[in-house]
Amino acid sequence: MKSIIFKDWKIEIDKEKTKNYYSQLDRDGLRECCSDCRNYYYGIRHLPKVFIEFLESLFIVPETPIGAYKLDKVADNIFLYDVNYLISGNILEKPNNAENVLENGNKAFNTSTLTDGVEFYFTKELHPSLRNLPDYESYFQLELFCEIPWVIEEPYE
């Protein structure tokens, strides 16, 4: 396990298991999906270098998220995306305000800033579709909110 401290988060990553997970994924899957996914696939390379370096430091292949969802238009030709990645390991420490329980019992997550236009948090609350993974309890999820330019040659919806 490799321990990483980043922005008041302390995590440990099973490097080999994480790399193995991403090696089994289709790197071209997003290019064959909806226009929102295709745009994320090509648009992430327009984000600051620190974004790609952050993902790679976690042994994540940037083009292979669990999901990439366009949430909202934030400026002319710029869209807010919600993106999820899977990591094998544990969350050892999180910022004091990272997670709150609301009156209705639901959890609210507060993000940390990676760079302008990119917020993130880690959670053990995996997307329901991942619960069929063998040993899914040994994984945690990276949730990113990032502003991506529309770069593909097709209209956005």
Identify the CA nearest to 39 among candidates 30, 50, 49.
30
| 143/126 Cα distance (integer angstroms) | 10
Residue-range domain boundaries for the chain: 2-149
pLDDT of residue 141: 93
Q: What is the pLDDT of residue 142?
A: 94
H-assigned helices in the chain: 15-23, 35-43, 49-57
**Dihedral angle at the C-alpha atoms of 68, 90, 136, 14, nearest 10 degrees?**
90
Residues 118/112, Cβ–Cβ less than 8 Å: no
pTM for the structure as a whole: 0.87
Share of the chain above pLDDT 70, in %: 95
Per-residue pLDDT tens digits for 78-132: 999 999 999 999 999 988 887 777 778 777 788 888 888 899 999 988 877 777 8
